[in-house]
Amino acid sequence: MDRPTMDDDFFKSSESSVKQRIESFADELEPISLARPKSIELGCPAISAGVGSLLRTLCTTIDAKHVVDVGTGVGISAAWLSLGLAEDGTITSIDIESEYQKSAKELLNIIGVNSNQVRLLAGRANLVLSKLTDNGYDLVFVDVNQFDASALLEDAVRLIRNNGLLIVHGVLSARENSAKLLTELIHESNDFDSSIIPLGQGLVVAARKS
């Protein structure tokens, strides 16, 4: 799956004092940090520690038990999500590259996520999401560049429980991508209340209305 690159950073500079302050606030587990070079090597840049820390916090806040991670990569987003997941929770992670998911499985195992808590599904986001259970998820996180935005929003409305969250990364990227279109659709939707957060490549956090 196509993902944002470090060059798409909307802060424009890695020297940004604001960015440094935000990112340094997050305490990242060593195994997650050690997985980052592999992510770059494979060409699937991962979310920043700051974004990961926010995912963990939001999972904890809504007591998330079942989450979907669209864009597995080497497992960095799934790892952060797992840290805020309920003890008996599950993660369904989707990526078109099954090779990436081998690395993700290793990372999740190292940080202590039980294999029965993780479902790694290989395939295009829109095709896989259409097969998941209605109203079965507390949080859906999207971190890929190209997908059918209209179809993904329809799936999110169907999949996410009332007061659950849809989180989209890459919405402030310098490049045109599907995340930006999805952001517009979320803003126009009557099914979500949403905000943009200037963290990582930019996030939309949208709460499913009751």
In a domain, 28, yes or no: yes
- Domain count along the chain: 1
In a domain, 1, yes or no: no
> What are 109-149's pLDDT values in tens digits?
999 999 999 999 999 999 999 999 999 999 999 999 899 99
pLDDT at 175: 82
pLDDT confidence bin for 23, thresholds 50/70/90: confident
Q: Which domain, by its residues, includes 158?
A: 6-208
In a domain, 107, yes or no: yes
User: How many whole angstroms separate alpha carbon 27 and alpha carbon 198?
Assistant: 19
In a domain, 64, yes or no: yes
In a domain, 148, yes or no: yes
In this structure, the chain runs to a length of: 210
pLDDT at 19: 72
In a domain, 30, yes or no: yes
- Would you say residue 108 has pLDDT above 80? yes
The DSSP output letter for 200 is T
Q: Which residues contact 90 (CB under 8 A, 6 or more apart)?
A: 65, 66, 67, 117, 118, 119
In a domain, 135, yes or no: yes
| Strand (E) or helix (H) holding 184 | helix 178-188
In a domain, 133, yes or no: yes
> What are 183-200's pLDDT values in tens digits?
999 999 999 999 999 888
Alpha helices in 85-146 (DSSP H): 98-110, 125-129
The domain that contains 193 carries what CATH number?
3.40.50.150
- Would you say residue 15 has pLDDT above 60? no
